[in-house]
Amino acid sequence: MKFADLHIHTQASDGWLTPEMAVEEANRAGLATISIADHDSVNGIEVAIWAGKKYGVEVIPGVELSSEFEGRELHILGYFIDWHDKQLQDKLFTIQEARIDRAKRILEKLRGLNINISYNVIIVISGGTVGRPHIAQVLLDRGYVRTVQEAFEKYLGIDRPAYVEKYPLSPAEAIRMIQRVGGISALAHPVFARTDEVLPELVDQGLQAIEAYHSRHDAAATRHFEELAKKYDLLIVGGSDAHGMEVPVGAVRIPYEFVEKLKEEQATPRRKLNNPHLNPWVRRGRMIVSQDFNNRLPARTFGSLEGRYDNHRIV
């Protein structure tokens, strides 16, 4: 049986693994398929696809867009996107510039708390793309916190003293961005999103899937999101949300049948989309062939709801 991890970050955003390293880890984990879904960036996809050919791992081009709805962060995943699209790349560049400004403002707030961290230090450890996990790691390294999670809970999370809002993007805009380039939109880690309240509106805006399986979802949460998916006729996706620190690639894996359903939806959408068209990624016949591997890493395998649960945090 083949498995997939559809939520992996790399150094193209705020992860610690290079795209090739992420694919190599997927190979070791026995995964047939992964999606590189970096925050507001598609810069890691090309190398990951090349590495996928090298290691025999199917790589789905993806992205994770950060949006805000009624004062709450909502992350929207996009799968099978045409990452070459210039309009998409231009928009993401604008968001990435805002990410740099955000990091500098976070460091200013930390200085107001007598925590002095140089922006150059963040750049060095991040490899050039900054995010809150990199700042959290420095806080950990310098003894201000005991874990990365504590850095978010104490300083960097929403309503914490060093929190700075992200680039203003609505969920509807994020969904349109994804669908305009032929992608499938999915609500990421819904346990953090007040999902029961916001899901009806997101569905009206064109949302197509929900990440029912995630490293911060316990069995009860997973069942609840499966029920919501059935209620609103949404596809189900899942992944580790691995950034290369606490949660490894393959910590959460889903049966390959979920990937097959995504492909069916991508080719023939079941509901009217904001900007429907067949993704040229599939139309050009360039999809990478998957293959089976032996399972080498302990992981939570969904479908059976057996295994371990991983501590994680949202970036």
37, amino acid identity: A
Q: Are residues 77 and 209 in the same domain?
A: yes
User: What is the domain-level CATH number for residue 126?
Assistant: 1.10.150
Same domain membership, residue 196 and residue 73? yes
Kindly state whether residues 108 and 179 are assigned to the same domain: no
Q: In CATH, what number is assigned to the domain containing residue 231?
A: 3.20.20.140
**For residue 234, is it within any domain?**
yes
Question: Do residues 57 and 103 both lie within one domain?
Answer: no
Question: Do 117 and 188 fall within a single domain?
Answer: no
Query: Mind listing the pLDDT tens digit for each residue in 17-46?
Result: 999 999 999 999 999 999 999 999 999 999
314 within a domain of the structure (yes/no): no
Euclidean distance between CA atoms 262 and 1, whole angstroms: 18
In a domain, 161, yes or no: no
**Taking 60 as the threshold, does the pLDDT of residue 50 lie above it?**
yes
Say if residue 198 is in the same domain as residue 286: yes
pLDDT tens figures, 209-221 = 999 999 999 999 9
Whether residue 104 is contained in a domain is answered as: yes
Q: Which domain holds residue 197?
A: 3-85+170-301
Is residue 31 within 8 Å of residue 253, measured between CB atoms?
yes
37/96 same-domain check: no
* Number of domains into which the chain is organized: 2
- The answer to whether the beta carbons of residues 241 and 9 sit under 8 Å apart is yes
Based on the domain organization, do 101 and 62 belong to the same domain? no
Considering the domain architecture, whether residues 193 and 289 belong to the same structural domain is answered as yes
Looking at the fold, whether 174 and 237 belong to one and the same domain comes out as: yes
Same domain, 181 and 136: no
Instruction: Say yes or no: 228 and 281 in one domain.
Output: yes
**What pLDDT digit, counting tens, does each position of 72-128 carry?**
789 999 999 999 999 999 999 999 898 889 999 999 999 999 999 999 888 887 766
* Percent of the chain whose predicted confidence (pLDDT) is above 90: 66
